[in-house]
Each structure stands twice: as structure tokens, then as C-alpha cells.
A = this chain, B = another copy of it.
């Protein structure tokens, strides 16, 4: 299932020997059409990995025939030679599929700053092509994992019988400008590239871009949306966007829950803002406060750390009109202590912080995690 849930797609996930040990590390997804319409969004980081630079060019054409994705190396900060490696990968896939490299997107994830083992990778392409199958979606989702403890997949059926499917990876460097991740969404609906692009931008803005686990923006973030048109269904655009939103929200949630070392999934909901931008600004500031994230880890309803983060923003608010609830208990009212903090139950994994700016009608939610010793240990020991 996953990316092969919709008609018209085949996938494979193989062990190419890019990563040490026995593990799948190369995924290939092929769109057999009849349509090849596609859209993509990429990291806002100015330091972009070679595959991002390549795939941006491919997506500018609005058509993707295949996506090749590797774990075990980000191919970021590798200079002109790294870009040649990406190009050679696309050419190799194109050759195996008797196609043009101009419609082959490339994604990589793993350590920054090292060249990919190209012999292994190019050999893996042949293996992946030989294993392409209609039920290859799970193997592909498995092959793009890095520190992910589980594969992330999702799919949903739309009105009239078309499907939307997706796979994603991401566990560290989860921050906006897309939570750090690779994600491929597929559909057998029939839509032109421009409409796919609009839908993808609308959806990622309120799903992956509202996920901020550790404030660190990756060099490799990529979300692709590929349409085969194989169902023959031309969906209502609004309904299609809802389907894509549902799949992306589901994958976002899976990324959050699997974030490195996290023990809490925290929703920071800002209401009463004069604009959605203000609401996002405030929510993001709180999501990036290490002190706040430590407090939630310790199950301490420390609303003072929420207010001190809110106070660092330029959002419209008056301090003496700020209200904060933790899991529904309004422990801060009018900028000072409110209901009894002992009423707050922080034992569940899911935590909701509600911040009422009392300034306007807009709202937004950013999802983050707690800061744990496990996060530190995982990221101080992480591959050198």
C-alpha cells in the first residue's frame, strides 16, 4: 500500500549496501501513468542538498516519471561532485527505464557532508528496477528510514473511487520549512500539475510546516505529489485537497510520535490572534523553548515558561490579557496565576497548550515534542 495504494504506481525497496549492515536503503517509485503530472515543495534552507537542487529543476517541468530515494547519506554539502552523483543517479534510473533523466526526481537522507557510495547506489538501481511491483509500497517506505523506528505510510479513498497514498520518513531535524523529511504522496486521480501544486502548497503549509520537533531545518526536505490519472477520476478539487490533507496530517502525526527521544506529543494551540501569522509566530516561539519542553517532559505545568516565550515575539497582545490552559485547565488568566495548577493532568502522552492572546479571531496550532535526555543521547551519539 502506501505509495502503491493508488493505481498506476509500482515501487521497490532494496538493500543496496549504502548503509552498513543489512537494511533496505534504496527506494524506487515509478508512475506508469497515463498521466505524469507532479508537484513538489522543498526545504527553505539556503544550504540545499544536491538532490533538492536537482529535483527542483525536474519539478519545474511539472512531470515526474520516477522517484529514486536513498537513506544512508544526505548528499548535502558535497559540492559539484555531489551534484554529479545525483545527476548520475537520475541518468542510471532513466537508462534502466528507457526514459529521460529530466523526469526522474532524486531524494537523499542521512549524514550531511559525505559523498554517497556511488558503486553501491548505482548497482542498487538495477536491483530496485528488477523488483518494481504493485505491492512494493511497504518495502519502499522501509528503505527511506534513517533513525525512524517505524515506517510511516498512509492512504485514503476519495469520492468516485480514486486513491491518495503516501510514505514519509523523518525523526530528527523536524522543523518548519517542512518538518525534516522525505515524503511522497501519490494519487490515481487525474489532475494537472498546476492544480497538484496548489493543493500541495495549501496542505503542507498547515501540516508538515506546523510540525516543529527540534527547531532544526534540514537541507533535504522534500514533499512530492505524483498523479497517475489511472483511475480516470477527475475529482472535485476541494475534496481532493481534503484527501491529501488527511494523508499529510496522518503522516505528520506519525513523524511527531516517532520524533527522536520524544515522550510527549504537544499541540500548541494559539487562539485570539489578530492574524494566522501571529498565531503561528507565537506557537512556534513556544515550541522552540527548551525550558518549556523540559518542563512538559517533567510533567510540570510551568505556564511561566509559556509566557516568557510568548513575550519574545512581536505578535499583537497585551500581557495582562494573556490566558493559558494546559490540558484544558486555565492556569494562567489575565497574565497571572489562574486555576489551581494541581488540577492539570500531564500524565497522558498527548498534551495540549492553549494560548489565548485575546486580541483577535485567528488561530493556529503547531505540534512539537518534549525535550528529553533520550533526544540528547541519540543526537550526541549519532553517526560521526
Contact = CB atoms under 8 A, between A and B. Distances in A.
Interface of A: 44-48, 74, 76-79, 81-82, 111-114, 172-173, 177, 214-219, 288-291, 294-295, 297-298, 300-305, 307-313, 319-320, 322, 332, 334-337, 341, 371-373, 375-377, 379-382, 384
A47 B308 contact: yes
Contacts of A381: 298
A305 B113 CA distance: 9
Q: Is the interface of A mostly helix, strand, loop or mixed?
A: loop
B112 A311 contact: no
Given A312-B45, A335-B79, A382 B304 contact: no
A307 B216 contact: no
A232 B375 CA distance: 56
A47 B214 CA distance: 24
Copies in the complex: 2
A375 B372 CA distance: 9
Contact of A302 (B76, B78, B217, B384): B384
A384 B297 CA distance: 13
A372 to B, nearest CB: 6
B295 A380 contact: yes
Nearest to A218: B308
Given A291-B172, A297-B380, A77 B216 contact: no
